[in-house]
Amino acid sequence: MTEEDVFRFWGKTSGNVVHPAVCHMLDTGIVACELLMVQPHGFISKLADEFGITTDALPQLAAFLAALHDIGKISPGFQAKRPDLSAPLKLEGYVFSRADEDRHTLSTLETLPDLLIDCLQCEDSLAIALSRALAAHHGVFTGQEAQKVGAGKWIKARRAALEFLSRLFWDKSLTGLGFPSTPALVILAGLVSVSDWLSSAEENFPYLTCPRPDLREYVADRTQKARELVSRLRFDVSSPAATEFHQLFDFTSPNPSQTVTLQTVNELHHPMLVVIESPMGSGKTEAAQAVYAHLSCEAGLRGMYYALPTQATGNAMLPRTARFLTRLGLETGTELHLLHTNADLNQDYERLRISSLNAEPGDVSASSWFTARKRGLLAAHGVGTLDQALLAALKVRHFFVRLFGLAGKLLVLDEVHAYDAYMVEEIYRLIGWLAHCHTSVVLLSATLPKARRKKLIQAFRPEVEVPDDIRYPCVTGVDISGAFAAHPIEGLKPDTIYVEPVIAESTDKPARILSLLLEKLADGGCAACIMNTVGEAQDLHELLRHHFPADEVLLFHSRFTLERKLRIEHDILSRYASDGKRPHRGIVIATQVIEQSLDVDFDLMITDLAPIDLLLQRAGRLHRHERARPQLLRPRNLWVLMPEFRSRLPDFGGSEYVYTPDILLKTALLFSAEEDLSHLEVSIPTGVSALIECVYGDDFPPEVPEHLLGPMRGWEAKRLGDETSQTFFAACSALIEAKACLRDPDYLGQISMDNDDDCAIVTRLTRPNVMLVVVENGRCLTVADKAEERKLFSSTVATDNTAIVKHFLAKEPPGEWADSPLLRHCRPLFVSGGKSVERPDLSYDDEFGLRFAR
DNA sequence: AAGAAAAAAAAA
Ligand SMILES: [Fe+3]
Ligand SMILES: [Fe+3]
């Protein structure tokens, strides 16, 4: 076969313009090569080691392999998809049949191993492993058998194509090649997919206009185009010009948390895992950013992803990260993206996207290429939900593209203490894979139970010894070679919280709260009442507004529309934030929304019983700053309402369904002294870990009274059972642990993607829920433009109330919203005079939010 | 009868 014939198989078409398969393969190889050329040396050298070749040779090898991804297109099944183009082949004796494989990725997997073995003396099992990575480029590592792929002339044609590409990229045999670890194969698959996406954009790589190009010219031209594209999308990350604290932040020298963090990092080598446990407000974010600056200089990083528990906290972190990156002074500027389902709606992100349209060198901005759903993590820098990162280690399509996106970077996970057993298991799996993808990980957390700290560290480096006597606040770290470091954080400002138990049953709770408020607010003051259930918060609000002027009480929970939530949050911040205009007297009634991330400061706090860590979290909003306070509210007292438990089985009411009763009871028992109740004096930060360990550890030291022993054991068993099943479920959703398949590439072919249906795999376990759009009755549902769509979306309220969910999920979403990405999953809630027109037991208004009659 | 929270079309 002459070289000319290699060009006669089509690969891509649009109308009459045909791009030969080998040209697309060439384009893809060239892009892969250019992508690798701009990666940090440490990353390249890690991959080169995996393949047992020199760093100089790696881009060439990767380019060659990437190019081969579509060799399966030179097959009867694929060529027959354009009968007009396959007809001449038929006349020349290329055989077509009805049983031809039409999925070209399967054809690649079927045909490539033999070619690699025969033409390049590749070792058998390596040939299969490599082919599998290339054949995954539609999102799935397949183990499926292909149908007919063509024999005789077809084999000769594929062989000619391979030899043609080999002459251009890799002119040697593959005999001496090392066998890469499974994570390295996954990275290869990611690189190949990304190169394929980039090279498939016709505006960047126009289809051939003549039947046979001048090869040298063609390659030079495509190389130029690929290089421009890679630099335009800023896949390269230049090293920071500024690394001094006063250059990066608004303060001149590191505080204790940051000093100890850098001390720990200095004892380890990239890739490493570092756990920073210290109180909120101790500058953990800046500590993580300082680690990024440090590792960028020392080791060279591909970028950073900062993962948070919610979309809202992600939104808030975006401008902070933009400021940090600007101060880092990256010469060519860089990409920064916001990653979550509703990122489009964020103003700051929109600004970054607009500024990329005419980016100046040195700018931090966001190119639109990365805004597609699966591409965000490929951008050098990102901020967003943890979920986006978790998808890199779940059995979902293109997980390996996400893993490639995170490879070689720094991943920061914030608020690690806040996740449940399901998500923690996903985190373990992700960390385990990233350790082998040359990624460093920083975990930011409040106090962790020691068992969890240990598991997080061992997820990165399995056999490492973790001492049991690590004392909060502290920084702990381990690197891939097994070096371990742990240091206490000393010199934080000590403080004390006085936690006061108040016995109250759910029936007399509102009255108790009212009398406490009347007594303590006699000279004025700012109070927060935190209830565990929305219903009780609503009821309390109803009572309090009869005893206080309307402008002094404010209700806040998550069952308001998005728009209203923002409004309430704004009102709360304007009054109770550190720089707020504090009223003489004011009361906020809230659920757990208030314990999330709001920087607010109350003089008085009354709360429902909650697990000890959450009580302390809530207390973080009590006397947060130093300021003058009313006489009666000078002591930092946290009033905790709890049911009677000394003489009988406590009735936790609705709280029982929010928190597990054994943890609630163990927390309550912290207050029991002999027959009586006593307050609890908590020293911050030193006294915290003993309390956490006491409630969450394996043996609960305080004596459990006789009458509670049985129920406690039952609740404990149930909780452990629930956690085990969550962990098991997460284990099924996630890839197996990296350490279990490091040398077993066959695992990749066995990953079952749940019938290719992503929906079945979730990042979080939730009760079924529904998004409702609050709509005035009679209003028409059509959306004329983007503005109207956003307006409706801002009226959404989510609920997981069983009866309501059942009612609304039984109906189809309105056809008018089917094309709207924002509203596609929503149902309208028609209201008239604050009441649902469909269900008399359901109401919505801006004062109470969504409310169910009980 | 139960908090808050995410994701969800489809990439070549
Ligand atoms: Fe393809
Ligand atoms: Fe392709």
What three-state secondary structure class fits A718? Answer: helix
Q: How would CATH label the architecture of A3-232?
A: Orthogonal Bundle (1.10)
User: Which residue places its CA closest to the C1' of nucleotide B9?
Assistant: A821
Neighbours of A487 (CB within 10 A): 16
Task: Compute, in angstroms, the gap from residue A24 CA to the centroid of ligand 2.
Answer: 7
Q: Distance, angstroms, CA A33 to C1' B10?
A: 26
In degrees, rounded to 5, the angle at the alpha carbon of residue A302 between the alpha carbons of residues A298 and A307 is 105
Q: Is the pLDDT of residue A754 over 80?
A: no
Task: Compute, in angstroms, the gap from residue A521 CA to the centroid of ligand 2.
Answer: 70
A209 touches A15 (CB < 8 A): no
What does the pLDDT read at residue A139?
Answer: 96
**pLDDT band with cut points at 50, 70 and 90 for residue A212:** confident
**pLDDT band with cut points at 50, 70 and 90 for residue A703:** confident
A299 touches A270 (CB < 8 A): yes
What is the pTM for the complete model shown? 0.97
Neighbours of ion ligand 2 (CB under 5 A): A 70, 196
Residue A72 DSSP one-character state: G
The verdict on ipTM greater than 0.90 is yes
Domain at A495-698, CATH class: alpha beta
Which one has a higher pLDDT value, A682 or A3?
A682
- Residue A563 Cβ under 7 A from any strand B atom: no
Locate the DSSP E strands across A614-767: 637-642, 672-673, 676-677, 680-684
Task: Name, in order, each residue with C-beta under 8 angstroms of A292's C-beta and a sequence gap of 6 or more.
Answer: A301, A304, A410, A412
Query: Please, what is the end-to-end C-alpha distance for chain A in angstroms?
Result: 81
Question: CA A602, CA A696: separation in Å to the nearest integer?
Answer: 28
Task: Compute, in angstroms, the gap from residue A184 CA to the centroid of ligand 2.
Answer: 21
Q: Given CA atoms A538, A543, A544, A549 in this order, what sign does their dihedral have?
A: positive
Task: Compute, in angstroms, the gap from residue A758 CA to the centroid of ligand 1.
Answer: 21
pLDDT in tens, A248-273: 999 999 999 999 999 999 999 999 99
CATH classification code of A245-488: 3.40.50.300
pLDDT in tens, A89-132: 999 999 999 999 999 999 999 999 999 999 999 999 999 999 99
**pLDDT band with cut points at 50, 70 and 90 for residue A296:** very high
Strands A381-385 and A304-308: parallel
Task: Compute, in angstroms, the gap from residue A646 CA to the centroid of ligand 1.
Answer: 68
Neighbours of ion ligand 1 (CB under 5 A): A 70
Question: CA A492, CA A283: separation in Å to the nearest integer?
Answer: 11
The closest alpha carbon to A380, from A344, A345, A330, belongs to: A330
A335 touches A379 (CB < 8 A): yes
Let me know if the fold of A3-232 is the same as that of A495-698. no
Q: Distance, angstroms, CA A334 to C1' B9?
A: 30
Tell me how far apart the 2 most distant CA atoms of chain A are, in Å.
98
Structural domain spans, chain A: 3-232, 245-488, 495-698, 770-852
Q: Distance, angstroms, CA A88 to C1' B6?
A: 52
What does the pLDDT read at residue A827?
Answer: 96
Q: Is the pLDDT of residue A185 over 90?
A: yes
Q: What is the mean pLDDT of chain A?
A: 95
Question: CA A229, CA A34: separation in Å to the nearest integer?
Answer: 9
* Percentage of chain A exceeding pLDDT 90: 93
**pLDDT band with cut points at 50, 70 and 90 for residue A4:** low
> For chain A, how many residues are written?
854
b/e string for A517-533 if b means 16 or more Cβ within 10 A? beebbeebbbbbbbbbb
Task: Compute, in angstroms, the gap from residue A137 CA to the centroid of ligand 2.
Answer: 8
The values of phi and psi at residue A354, to 5°, are -65, -40
Helix (H) or strand (E) run with residue A46 in it: helix A41-51
Helix (H) or strand (E) run with residue A776 in it: strand A770-776
User: Which residue places its CA closest to the C1' of nucleotide B10?
Assistant: A373
> What are the C-alpha distances in Å from A159 to residues A114, A115, A120, A152, A155?
10, 7, 11, 11, 6
| Ligand in nearest proximity to the CA of A29 | 2
> Which nucleotide is closest to the Cα of A375 by its C1'?
B11
Q: Is the pLDDT of residue A309 over 60?
A: yes
The closest alpha carbon to A697, from A463, A447, A465, A500, belongs to: A447
What does the pLDDT read at residue A437?
Answer: 98
User: Token digits for A244?
Assistant: 């001094």
Question: CA A785, CA A673: separation in Å to the nearest integer?
Answer: 64
